[in-house]
Chains A and B, each alone.
Chain A
Amino acid sequence: MEVIYAAFLALMSPDVLLVILLSSIFGLFVGAIPGLTATMAVALLVPVTFFMPPLPAIAAIVSVSAMAIFAGDIPSALLRIPGTPSSAAYTDAAYRLTMRGKGELVLGACVVTSAVGGLVGAIFLMFFAPAVARFALNISSYEYFWLVCLGLTSAAFIAPGSTLKGMISLLLGLLVAMIGLFPVTGQPRFAFGSTALYGGVGLVATLIGMFAIAEILRFALSRDPLPPMATTKIGNIFKGLMPELWRSRRNLASGIVVGTVTGPLPGAGADIAAWISYALARKTTRNREEFDKGSLEGIVAAGGANNASVSTSYVPATVLGIPGDSMTAIVIGVLFMKGLTPGPQIFENQPTLIYGIFLSFILANLLMIPLGYTAIKLSRYLLDVPRSYLMPVILLFCVVGAFAMDNTLVAIVTMLVFGVVGWFMEENGFPIAPALLGIVLGRMLEETFLTSMIKAQGDFLQLFSRPIAGTIGVITILIWLSPLIMMVVKRVRRRGAVA
């Protein structure tokens, strides 16, 4: 309790509060504008957080991610365009209800369920993460190696679209992570004689390239005009909301459970939590016809789920240093930049910081109600901001942001290259998130493997010698083999059917 009190005091200092407030407003702004994603908001914020102490830096990222995920609901309901991918599951339903004159109710439900979902997730994170950390203190490089493998594998397999393309994206990310000095002997590897690449490819420049420059390029080439807003007048969003929410309380509860459980799973982010809980709400609804026409049940379930998963996705990130999605990958990168190694030891070495991060989730989700309300009220102006004016301004922020990390033009070259690569990958159905996770975790994968091999004197089977390592190892290998197994099962069934 003393630690929590100290963390609370640290969080309540005026400069940290100001950072949280400003980054929340930034998150709401970016999340509400279609085409600018929550990950882009975080990527643009990282260069600024570099100049802050660790607590406000991570609290800023926490606030931005929570607010942006909620704010994505605003254009969903008003324009039928999800502001962030995690709102996509219920965009149709939200827009249909808005067209039927229930825009206020939908937006009210979105802000309240997001805040409630985020809060429950944050409380789960506070109580569950230390327990996992205590358990994680006993795990060795063998378990770490398999955990990283499992995380990367899940990221590639769960990513939207083709599994094969997810795997290729992951492999390309891992290949990029190999650039730099080889950790054991310190010899340069794939640096092409450039000393600038000895430290590896800059993570922040890569991030800004893949998530911001790629988006600017997409905007530059896009010929689709924005649709007109469904309603321009938004009254009291809380009017009549509570009875409606009470009616959908089971959906909200199941959504929050789905989000809370999905968050820590490697590879499954807020988007997947929203889709699963929306599908679950559809399956359990009493009136499927009404549900498909657009009902609050699905919106309530998925709205709570995506914010709950944002909170709990910090469990593996802080406890094991293994990110589950692109946003927590960035958080891990920021912790490393601050000289902090995420892992179970962080709970012993930096308890105030870690509980400060957890408390910042609670604060951000509490702030979501008043700030979200204001954002909804201002949505007419927010959604009217012309992207043709916004994108060039963001472009300059990208340039300076990438440069600020290493003070070298190589970072801007990296940003440009990865911007084009990111745009090309998305155009061709290669998901970006596995590549990013590969870049962040590639080094850890190699280092845990080499440490294990040194300990085991090169005996590969030793990786299965401990019960947990062996179990995770077998699960990971089964996931790798699953496409093959599925193919064999299909063939056998087909033969059975023919016979």
Chain B
Amino acid sequence: MKVSDIIMGPIIAGIGILAIVAASMQPKPFFGTGYGGGFFPSIIGYALVVAGGLLLVNGWRQRDVQPLVVMGSWVRSPTHMANAAVVLGVLVFYILFSNFLGFVIAGFVVVFATLLQFTRSPVRSLILAGVTTLVVKFAFQDMLLVPLPWGLLEPYAGVLSWR
């Protein structure tokens, strides 16, 4: 998805303005140099406003050859749009439900759903998702002692641990 500089310029400048406003809300320095927490962010903010302005000028110069928005060829393919939606969707799913479901179940869903979408092969997806989840669980939870959430499987934590 290519967005013209005519649109990107004001977005960048807008981020700069937000940075300047937020920097101005920082408390003023009460000792030392006179350079407080807002000093650097405001410089970055001003630089972003200038850079955004230059980008806008660039975009305006190329307005005849550069359309405002060019979507990738994926936009005409429901499969590819679904691919990206599944990748983003499983990540949101994991963020929302991993504490409740636990890593093993949520992680399995993440891999299985993505594999199924990418390969359309339910049996292989099921096997590979199972193996991947177990390998990752063993490596990170049992070997590296990362406290991955148990969730629904909490009562079976003792049985499912290798340590």
CB distance from B83 to the nearest CB of A (A): 4
B24 at the interface (CB under 8 A from A): no
| Choice from B3, B51, B119, B136 contacting A396 with Cβ under 8 Å | B136
B1 at the interface (CB under 8 A from A): yes
* Contact, CB under 8 Å: A453 / B33: yes
Binary contact readout A133-170 vs B (1 if CB under 8 angstroms, 0 otherwise): 00000000000000000000000000000001101100
Chain B residues with Cβ below 8 Å from A190 are: 22, 41
A403 at the interface (CB under 8 A from B): yes
* Contact, CB under 8 Å: B22 / A450: no
In the complex, the chain A residue whose C-beta lies closest to that of B124 is A389
Of the candidate stretches A237-245, A351-359, A406-414, the one touching chain B is A406-414
A369 at the interface (CB under 8 A from B): no
A217 at the interface (CB under 8 A from B): yes
B92 at the interface (CB under 8 A from A): yes
Q: Which 7 A-B pairs have the closest CB atoms?
A: A182-B37, A220-B83, A392-B114, A388-B118, A221-B74, A453-B33, A404-B146
Instruction: Classify the interface of chain B: helix, strand, loop or mixed.
Output: helix
User: Taking A164-B51, A409-B99, A453-B33 as contacts, is the C-beta distance between A400 and B140 under 8 angstroms?
Assistant: yes
CB distance from B95 to the nearest CB of A (A): 5
Chain A residues with Cβ below 8 Å from B124 are: 389
CB distance from A113 to the nearest CB of B (A): 35
Chain B residues with Cβ below 8 Å from A221 are: 72, 74, 80-81, 83-84
Q: Which of B114-163 contact A (CB under 8 A)?
A: 114-115, 118-119, 124, 128-129, 132-133, 136, 140, 144-148
Chain B residues with Cβ below 8 Å from A13 are: none
Bound state CA distance, A57 and B116, in angstroms? 35
* Contact, CB under 8 Å: B95 / A412: yes
Cβ contacts A to B, 20 pairs, < 8 Å: A51-B144, A168-B48, A168-B55, A171-B47, A174-B40, A174-B44, A184-B32, A185-B27, A185-B29, A185-B37, A220-B118, A221-B84, A389-B119, A392-B111, A392-B114, A393-B132, A396-B132, A413-B95, A427-B1, A428-B3
| Choice from B41, B80, B144 contacting A178 with Cβ under 8 Å | B41
Chain B residues with Cβ below 8 Å from A222 are: 74, 80
In the complex, the chain B residue whose C-beta lies closest to that of A415 is B91
A131 at the interface (CB under 8 A from B): no
Bound state CA distance, A415 and B94, in angstroms? 12
Interface size on B, residues (CB 8 A): 66
Q: Hey, which bits of chain A sit against chain B, CB under 8 A?
A: 48, 51, 164-165, 167-168, 171-172, 174-175, 178, 182, 184-185, 187, 189-190, 213, 216-217, 220-223, 386, 388-389, 391-393, 395-397, 399-400, 403-404, 407, 409, 412-413, 415-416, 419-420, 424, 427-428, 445-446, 449-450, 453-454, 457-458
In the complex, the chain B residue whose C-beta lies closest to that of A430 is B8
Quick one: which of B3, B92, B118 has the most chain A CB within 10 A?
B118
* Contact, CB under 8 Å: B136 / A400: yes
CB distance from A25 to the nearest CB of B (A): 15
* Contact, CB under 8 Å: B94 / A399: yes
Known: A167-B51, A175-B19, A409-B99. 11 other contacts (CB 8 A): A171-B47, A182-B26, A220-B86, A222-B74, A389-B115, A391-B114, A392-B118, A395-B90, A424-B1, A450-B35, A458-B35
CB distance from B110 to the nearest CB of A (A): 6
Bound state CA distance, A415 and B111, in angstroms? 17
In the complex, the chain B residue whose C-beta lies closest to that of A396 is B111
Chain A residues with Cβ below 8 Å from B29 are: 184-185
